Chains A and B, each alone.
Chain A
Amino acid sequence: MNVADKLVAMVLALAAFAVVIGLILFVVSLLERRGARRVAWFFVGPTVLLLIVGLLYPAGRTVVRSLFDAAGSSFIGIANYTAIFSSPDQLVVLRNTVLWVLVTPFVATLVGLLYAIWVNGARGESAAKALIFLPMAISFVGASIIWKFVYEYRFYDPDVRVNPEQIGLLNQVLVWLGMQPQQFLLNQPWNNLFLIVVMIWIQAGFAMTILSAAIKAIPAEITEAARLDGVSASQLFRFVTVPAIRPTLVVVLTTIAIGCLKVFDIVRTMTGGLYGTSVVANEFYTQSFTAGNQGLGAALAVLLFVLVIPIIVYNVRQLRQAEAR
């Protein structure tokens, strides 16, 4: 296909799309005269249908499949679930997921919050914010590849005549400081933390942006009143800022926590889940698609779903409370 053909195909596709949309709008305009309820069904119907076909049905199938063996042919009850909670390999996966969910949201939020307060009202605020927000614009896979280079290891032996060039930034810094280069992605269990750093690097910008907006929304009267009462900066933070932005903090924390439960790209790109760094989402993919154990993979997917539910429930409740106030 040459460029002209592609352009023609594109124009045709656009025209076809316009015709379909035009048709829908035309039908709706006909229905509109017969009452709003029909129009509502006309729009909601396809969505509901797609949700059933694309979400509810596969979810149900996954739950059923998690009760079957690797090939999906014979029923084995909850054996896949007991495997997740008893086999040493799977316990490492669970441990790592817990580590991700405990460490990342708090550190990323803390970094974002401190940064937001620190640059608030300072000169060059927007430039400073852009700096920390930029990693958000990079895809997880892109960020992982960047950090993989940062962590890259080559040996360094002062007694050897020729040492290989350090490719990794971090190890080069260590060598300059007179220390031994480290295998950041291999040495357990610390390698998990070095993966988490990547997530924090990405999410701190997200936390900072949202929290900064919340801080700016605190009414000036409140902070002024507190200042007149003679509070110190730390007291202002503790008793005014944090309570005022609490709903936003909860949203940021839970959003990052959900992201961490589902984290896949970083682990897959940087270690492939090897060297004791696998997490539930990655293990689910590996078991389902490379190791051919569909039952265990489905069980892991269900577990992931179950783990996300309480966080979402908490998140929604907090939002409702905030709205009620």
Chain B
Amino acid sequence: MRHMRKSAGVLAAGAVAALALTACSTGDGETPGDSTDATVDAVEVDCADFEQYGDLSGKTVTIYAGIVAPEDTPYMTSFEPFEECTGATVDYQADKQFEQQILVRAQAGNTPDIAIVPQPGLLAQLVATGTVVPAPEGVAANVDEFWGESWKDLGTVDGTFYAAPSGASVKSLVWYSPTQFEENGYEVPETLDDLMALTEQIAADGNNKPWCAGIASGEATGWPLTDWMEDMVLRVGGPDVYDQWVSHEIAFDSEVPTQALDAVGEYLKNPDYVNGGIGDVSTIATTAFQDAGLPILDGQCSLHRMASFYAANFPEGTDVADDGDVFAFYLPSEDSSTKPVLGAGEFVTAFSDRPEVQALLEFWSTDTWANLKAAASSEETGGGWITANSGLDTDNLVNPIDLLSAEILLDPASEFRFDGSDQMPAAVGSGAFWKESTNWITGQSTADTLSKIEAAWP
């Protein structure tokens, strides 16, 4: 009897394990709903445009990405015309662990056909595994036509062009309350000097501290400060010096970066200017970046520098518009003659040169796709997606922040630069830069901070 009971116990334990296993397997491999009934009405699609890709019936292209529900459905919708006209099937798989998993999969040789890679640094790591195939001619031509040199460089590793850009986001934004500005007679600043003058004015009026900021973000704590500094390097030194700084041609603690971090400090380390609605300077270190801009809604803070995606952090019912509760303006440059833009984006990376994969890549890099995707996002998720594809028709955007971001991105005067910390080696970009910025805001000097980051460069 004792023996029997024992084996029953083992069985029960095993059953639990098996249950856990099935739960995992169904959770991981799940492909988001096949219910892609939604059609894109706003953009006219003519199957004749797809004839160049030939008949691809029965062929399947797999896409692997970190973009999960609900943002994944517009992607699937945007590929529908391609599927209908060529007969190919697009299999989109989303995974929150994409950034870790894609490297593991590439090293193991188990690659998807296409991956949506959110950082040039990761693209370079993937290329180093030898599994990425260069972009086809047609894609290169489209990128030349619609994006231009700086974006093409971001998808290029060691002189070979691999990946076309897809989505983009703008980080050089300052959130504010249009209502509060109107009540107090504040004007949206046009230059950095104006911004400082506005800051002084708000501080002098004494209703609230002008700026609010927060950099706490779990293990990534500090990243909002790295964005601040990148924006200032772009403004103090210009895009060329920025590129040298990112690629470590100039030292991290050389003159321009030092001036840039000091320029950030003029705002964020001045106890009269921060931290509106939260506390003193040191509270910037412990305030979650998601919460940091919310005091704008209570009138406890006037200015908050954060990327376009911050729109999603305001509570439901907040009117995000240029005459509403909150909106954003472009973080101005030294004078209005230059317009450096800090941002981020995604890169469509292929691991296969099968004809159907090449066809999808080419379609993906066209203005047709960009408009299909923008319209699908507007329809299904209320916006939240833009691209730097100059063929983008802004009529397909509904969200005011998307419109503003697209306007900034597509402005011919804009000089786009990709988030620098994403391009630096991990020891700096996701190590010392975050950590020492956090130490800097809690009291460490600019010189110590920058020399420590410089020392961490591998």
Interface residues of A (CB under 8 A from B): 1, 6, 9-10, 13-14, 16-18, 21, 25, 70-71, 153-155, 162, 164, 183, 185-186, 268-269, 272, 274-275, 286, 290-293
Bound CA span A70–B286, Å: 30
Contact B26 A25 (CB under 8 A): no
A268 close to B427 (CB less than 8 A): no
Interface residues as binary, B447-458 with A (CB distance below 8 Å gives 1, 0 otherwise): 000000000101
- B366 to A: closest C-beta gap in Å: 34
Q: Assuming the A-B contacts A274-B221, A292-B426, are A155 and B286 also in contact, with contact meaning beta carbons closer than 8 angstroms in the complex?
A: no
Residue of B nearest to A292 (CB): B426
CB atoms of B427 and A70 under 8 A apart? yes
Nearest-neighbor residue (CB-CB) of B429 within chain A: A292
Residues A272 and B218 in contact, CB atoms below 8 Å apart: yes
B30 at the interface (CB under 8 A from A): yes
Query: In the bound complex, do residue A155 and residue B19 qualify as a contact, i.e. CB atoms below 8 Å apart?
Result: no
In whole angstroms, what is the CA distance A71 to B425 when docked? 11
Interface string of B424-452 (1 = CB under 8 A from A): 01110011100100100010000000000
Q: How far is the CA of A162 from the CA of B298 in the complex (A)?
A: 10
Q: Which of B221, B278, B425, B442 makes the CB contact (< 8 A) with A154?
A: B278
Contact of B10 with A by CB under 8 A: yes
The CA-CA distance from A6 to B26 in the complex, in Å, is 7
**A-side interface mostly:** loop
* A18-B426 contact in complex given A183-B282, A274-B438, C-beta closer than 8 Å: no
CB proximity of A24 to chain B, nearest CB, Å? 10
B277 touches A293 (CB 8 A): no
Q: CB < 8 Å: which of A1, A154, A269, A274 contacts B30?
A: A1
Asked if B280 is an interface residue, CB under 8 A from chain A, the answer is yes
Bound form: Cα–Cα A268–B14 in Å: 32
Interface of B is mostly: helix
Complex alpha-carbon distance, A203 and B280, angstroms: 35
Complex partner residue of B442 from A1, A6, A186, A291, CB under 8 angstroms: A186
Asked whether any CB of chain A lies closer than 8 Å to the CB of B204, the reply is: no
Most buried by A among B278, B282, B286, B431: B286
User: Cβ of B219 < 8 Å from any Cβ of A?
Assistant: yes
Q: List 17 A-B contacts (CB under 8 A).
A: A1-B30, A9-B22, A10-B19, A13-B21, A16-B18, A17-B17, A153-B283, A154-B278, A154-B279, A155-B283, A164-B300, A183-B279, A185-B286, A186-B283, A186-B286, A268-B219, A275-B442
| A17-B15, A164-B295, A268-B219 known; A291 vs B426 contact (CB < 8 Å) | yes
The answer on a CB contact under 8 Å between A272 and B283 is no
Q: Select A291's contact among B17, B280, B286, B431, beta carbons within 8 Å.
A: B431
Q: Complex: how many Å from CA A10 to CA B280? A: 55
